[in-house]
């Protein structure tokens, strides 16, 4: 859900945006979403590892060949 408050903030360029954000909120504000993004990546890696292990257990010893039809 996005929160809107009337008019948006307008910047001249991406450099101007960076300068204004750092001046108003500090350098830490540029990394606000990094923690959640890292946790999402770790969770995705965990799911992939579990899936890979599950496949190794379920299909151990079975040989599949590429079919032509």
Give the total number of structural domains in the chain: 1
Q: How far apart are CA 69 and CA 60, in angstroms?
A: 25
Residue 11 resides in a domain: no
Residue 16 resides in a domain: no
CB-CB contact of 29 with 21 (8 Å) = yes
pLDDT of residue 43: 97
Residue 2 resides in a domain: no
- Residue range(s) defining the domain that contains residue 36: 32-59
pLDDT of residue 62: 76
Residue 69 resides in a domain: no
> Which mean pLDDT values do the consecutive 10-residue runs of the chain (69 residues) have?
68 92 91 93 97 89 67
pLDDT of residue 30: 85
Residue 24 resides in a domain: no
pTM for this one? 0.54
pLDDT of residue 8: 78
Residue 4 resides in a domain: no
Burial classification of residue 49, based on how many CB atoms lie within 10 Å of its CB (0-12 exposed, 13-18 middle, 19 or more buried): exposed
């Amino acid at each position: 859900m996005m929160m809107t408050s009337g008019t948006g903030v307008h910047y001249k360029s991406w450099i101007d945006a960076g300068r204004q954000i750092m001046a108003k909120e500090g350098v830490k504000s540029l990394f606000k979403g990094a923690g959640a993004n890292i946790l999402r990546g770790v969770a995705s890696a965990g799911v992939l590892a579990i899936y890979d292990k599950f496949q190794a257990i379920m299909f151990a010893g079975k040989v599949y060949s590429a079919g032509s039809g």
